[in-house]
A and B are shown apart, each in its own frame.
Chain A
Amino acid sequence: MGKNVFEADTGLDKAFLDAVYENDTQTAAAIFEQYLIDLPSDLASIHNCFSSGDREQFRSLIHKKKVGFSYVGLTAVTADLSELENKCSAGADLKECQQQVESVLKRINESTEAVRQVLKRLQQHEDQ
C-alpha cells in the first residue's frame, strides 16, 4: 500500500504512515476522513483559544490536538505543537508565541490538500 498511496511527494511522513497503517487502507481512509471532518473546528478552537490569552487552556488544547496531526502524516506539525506546549509549560508569554502559532496554522492549512489527495487515493484503492 505504502508505495502507491503514501507517496513521498505529498510532503506527508510516509515512513510514519506506513508504520501506523501497514496495509490497512480501510483504517487509513477512515482516519484521514475523520481528520478532515474535524479540521475546521480544530483550527478554529486553536485560533480562538490562543486569542483568548489563557495560556493554560491553550497548552491543554494543543496537548490534546497535537497527536492527531501525526495520524495523517503531519509529524512535523506535532513536533511544532509540542514545542509550543513546552513553551507554555515553561510560562512563556503567549504574545511571544504568536508568530510560531501562525506559522503552524499556515503549515496545517497548506498541507490540507495533500491530506485530501491521499484520502482520495485510499478511497480509490478501496474501490479496486
Chain B
Amino acid sequence: MKTVIVEDENLSRKLLETYCEKCGLTKLCGSFETANEALEFLNGDEIQLLFLDVEMPGINGFELLDRMSYMPKVILTTSKTEYAYTAFQYDVVDFLKKPIQYNRFLAALNKIRQLNNELQSTPEEDFYIKSSGKFVKLRYSDILFIESLGDYVKYVTEDKAYVTHSTLKMVEEKMSSGPFMKVHRSFIVNLQKVKDIKYYTLAIADKTIPISKTLKSEVLKRLKIVE
C-alpha cells in the first residue's frame, strides 16, 4: 500500500515512519513536515494511504485534502479530538490521537485492510444465468451493471448484455457482498467499474445510471468520495 506521512512534529513523524516499516503492510513513499511540501508529491504520484496531521504551519491537513486531485484513504493524526466532526465530513478512515501507540496504529491499518477487502472481494468467481435458452457462464468481475426490466433483468458486461428471467431483488440478495451495490430501484452496479459521478447519476462505460436520492450518500461512502 503506497503510503505518505504528513506530520509537522519531528518525533511523531519518525515514530510513524518506524511503525510503517515495522508493520510490513505499507510502502512508505514520502514523509513530509508540511502540507505545502507534500502537495506537489501527492498530486504527482497517486498513493493509497495518507497519515495526515491537521494543525500544521501553512495549509492545514483538511486544506491539503481539498487541494488534492484524488482521495486516498486517510488516517488523521492529531492531539485534538475536536477535529473529529470535520474528519467525519472528509470521510477519513480513522483518527489516531497523538501520542500514538503501536497497537492503535495497527488497529487503524486493519480498518484500511477491511475496507480494501470489502471493495475488492467478489462473492464467487463465476456463476451461470439462463439466457436465450442456454446457460451462460459469467464472471462477477466482468459485470458492469444489472438493470431491472420488470420480471427480467439485464446483465451488462463490456461486450455483451444478457437478459434473464429474474428480479433485481433476487439478484441483490445473491450479490449482497463484494463490489456490487443497488444504487437505484432499477440498477445494481459494480462499484469497481464506476468512472465518474455527477449529481444523481454515475457513469459506467458509456452508460449513465441514475442514483436514488436516498442511496446517494451510501454510494459515496462505499466509493470513499467526499461530497
Contact = CB atoms under 8 A, between A and B. Distances in A.
Contacts of B99: 16, 20, 67, 70-71, 75, 78
B11 A63 contact: no
A24 interface: yes
B207 interface: no
Interface stretch (B12-20, B126-134, B161-169): B12-20
A71 B98 CA distance: 10
Contacts of B57: 60
Contacts of B142: none
Interface string B38-58: 000000000000000001010
Interface string B5-26: 0001111101100100010000
B79 interface: yes
* Binding site secondary structure of chain A: helix
**Range of interface residues on chain B?**
10 to 19
Contacts of B22: 24, 27
Given A27-B15, A63-B55, A68-B9, 6 more contacts: A16-B99, A60-B55, A67-B79, A68-B11, A68-B12, A71-B11
B79 A66 contact: yes
B101 interface: yes
Interface in A42-91: 60, 63-68, 70-71, 75, 78, 82
8 contacts: A24-B18, A27-B15, A34-B10, A38-B10, A64-B55, A67-B11, A68-B10, A82-B79
Contact of A19 (B18, B55, B101): B101
Interface string A9-20: 000000010011
Interface of B: 8-12, 14-15, 18, 22, 55, 57, 79, 98-103
A71 B19 CA distance: 14
Nearest to B10: A38
A22 B98 contact: no
